[in-house]
Structure 1
């Protein structure tokens, strides 16, 4: 019987397994859905007086180190998740179990090829992978019944290792479309261009970006560090409840890493959570985890505190207990 991976401070409920169902393949995956044609517009080089909008997805200035108090609700529950590569049918995930509660930061580490990135992509419905068993429940809903766009609108965000470029689409247009799609999903009115600019411009300081960044096409000509900042900027604007961050530290110098980590910490609240994939303990010096999970051969084989990551960095994966 597979062990259910949850930190000792959490006691996951044992709800019945929901039957899994394949989502329709979607050949294009963005961090947010594309719903209608975009019209490019420019934004001023100087910020206007900050506008106040009535927004439900603001991020209070709490750090990730003090996010408790009340009893936490179960946010994501993964049970016995198995998946294969769609084309070759090669098994990658072989029974992943994980529970994430509100306000938690979970870290997944493991050797190359252990299934970390595949796990993240399966959670958001990447068409390269086919689910063959198990269940994924997010806020009580069966994620495996949802198309990728529906998962995004439900509040699941993923930052990719290598974000794609979208020529001809500015950052502000892309995010205006995505943000309004999420507001519509939440039953809230869409924001007009001026109102949205007042909202989005306040998020730039969070990732240490200048206002002209909004006029640049999405990731086009961006450096590696700019792409990672842009991913976290998107997360700040969209306000997702579960952020899946796939190696946001790769390719970053120490200053860029501090900026990105500071932004992630600034977005953490008692209601949202982060699932981070990384190879290195250095990221955990800036973003303190609730739990660290070690993945091996498509399964989570060890779960504990930050000390696991320190041990792995010092001794390598040979220090893992025999399974």
Structure 2
């Protein structure tokens, strides 16, 4: 069993008015075999957490730690974090003109494994992974995310997840912009990945609709850069019924009294 542990994480970002603290002491532990859902309103710091774990240079870790099996990942470069077993599915995947999906995937696999996969086997694996997310094999010749629909971008991210097979997947609003068919395809891919038993998932979402297809073991409510509440999957149902108002009000009151 592997463990991704976040302790008292504080993160700031530079703005025109100076450094602004986004995360204000996050504690969260994800073990392999577990699916954790992070829910919360816009601006609560959910995506900041995802990008900070992955090593985005925009975000500055001011204090706290993130470890994978006790090893500090904050001192690692982005590629070192990937080789250690972390994967980030981005909310807004970027376009990479001139780089084909096929070349991108093989280069990534080679970098993570330390050796190139055998070409004949790899082509078969890629075609099967694309087929599972309802993308045809010609898709592999297109430039990464260039001209992709929202659904194609997210399904491509799931194909990456299955082929690279990291220890921990951080999925930042993977359900954003998906119609119901694409949502089911993406959810099936996440479930295939997590069903291996030795893989962990940190799923960030605004809405409960994806949780109808991906059943979390734990739900965490994120408000004002902190975990405001946590519980089992029943907490998602409560949020669906009542929203985030009580948490937002409590956070505002805490700030006012500080």
Work out whether the TM-score is over 0.5: yes
Structure with higher strand content: 2
Where 2:19 maps in the other structure, the secondary structure is coil
* 1:62-121 deviation line (CA, Å, top 9, x unaligned): xxxxxxxxxxx3410100000100453100001000011111000111111111100111
Aligned counterpart, 2:62:
132
Preserved CA contact (<8 Å) 2:171 2:204: yes
Asked if 1:117 corresponds to 2:44, the answer is: no
- Figure out how many residues of one structure are paired with residues of the other and give that number: 247
- Aligned pair partner of 2:11 in 64, 83, 98: 83
Q: Mean Cα displacement is larger for which, 83-92 or 189-198?
A: 189-198
Question: Which structure 2 residues correspond to residues 60-75 of structure 1 after superposition, within 5 A?
Answer: 73-75=1-3
* 1:264-306 deviation line (CA, Å, top 9, x unaligned): 1011121111101101111100000010000111110101011
Question: Which structure 2 residues correspond to residues 161-200 of structure 1 after superposition, within 5 A?
Answer: 161-184=91-114, 189-200=115-126
Asked if 1:154 corresponds to 2:81, the answer is: no
Structure with higher helix content: 2
**Which whole-Å CA distance do the structure 2 matches of 1:74 and 1:149 have between them?**
19
Give the 4+ runs in structure 1 shifted more than 6 A: none
Preserved CA contact (<8 Å) 2:12 2:62: yes
Where 1:151 maps in the other structure, the secondary structure is helix
Preserved CA contact (<8 Å) 2:130 2:156: no
Gaps of 5+ in 1: 1-72
Once the 2 structures are TM-superposed, how far is the Cα of residue 190 of structure 1 from its aligned partner? Answer: 2.2
Aligned counterpart, 2:256:
none
* 1:118-149 deviation line (CA, Å, top 9, x unaligned): 01110001111100001100122101110111
The TM-score, its normalising length taken from structure 2, stands at: 0.92
Once the 2 structures are TM-superposed, how far is the Cα of residue 322 of structure 1 from its aligned partner? Answer: 4.2
Asked if 1:281 corresponds to 2:208, the answer is: yes
**Which whole-Å CA distance do the structure 1 matches of 2:2 and 2:99 have between them?**
37
**Which whole-Å CA distance do the structure 1 matches of 2:246 and 2:227 have between them?**
15
Once the 2 structures are TM-superposed, how far is the Cα of residue 194 of structure 1 from its aligned partner? Answer: 2.6
- Aligned pair partner of 2:199 in 248, 272, 286: 272
Aligned counterpart, 1:233:
159
**Which whole-Å CA distance do the structure 2 matches of 1:318 and 1:197 have between them?**
49
- Aligned pair partner of 2:37 in 88, 97, 107: 107
Aligned counterpart, 2:144:
218
Preserved CA contact (<8 Å) 2:172 2:205: yes
Preserved CA contact (<8 Å) 1:75 1:100: yes
- What's the RMSD between the two structures over aligned residues? 1.4
